Amino acid sequence: MSRLFLYIALGGILGSIARFTFSFLTKQYHLPFFYSTLFANLAGCFLLGVFFALAQQYQSYSLEFRYLGIIGFCGAFTTFSTFAFENLMLLQKGHIFTFAAYFLLSSVLGIAAVYIGLKVA
């Protein structure tokens, strides 16, 4: 079991670095603060769908692969706690339209990205 924790940790390290990269690029291109979370959530949902489909389709993918990719990488890369916080900030600042668009785009496109990821794999 302790070996599986190492795979989760490795995936988490890689996911955290990828997430930071999204935030860094968002700032470099002067995009609104919540774009990095939106992009990370959509990409993470897509990747989770791909990883899950591959694990289901090819039983040769080991438990370690699933722990590294799905739990470790996607768990660290997607940021729904940040998503919830940013939505609250938008509501508290009175940005109702931006909140609604951000919330709906993240939710609907996130579900669509998982579906597409499942189909692509």
pLDDT band at 82 (very low <50, low <70, confident <90, very high): confident
Closest CA to 69 of 121, 112, 27: 121
- Start-to-end Cα distance in the chain: 28
User: Where do the structural domains in the chain lie, given as residue ranges?
Assistant: 2-120
pTM of the model: 0.81
pLDDT band at 88 (very low <50, low <70, confident <90, very high): very high
How does pLDDT run across 34-75, given as a tens digit for each residue?
Answer: 999 999 999 999 999 999 888 888 877 788 888 999 999 999
Backbone angles phi, psi at 31, to 5 degrees: -90, 160
Cα angle 104-44-109, degrees, rounded to a multiple of 5: 25
Contact residues for 13 (Cβ-Cβ < 8 A; gap 6+): 72, 76
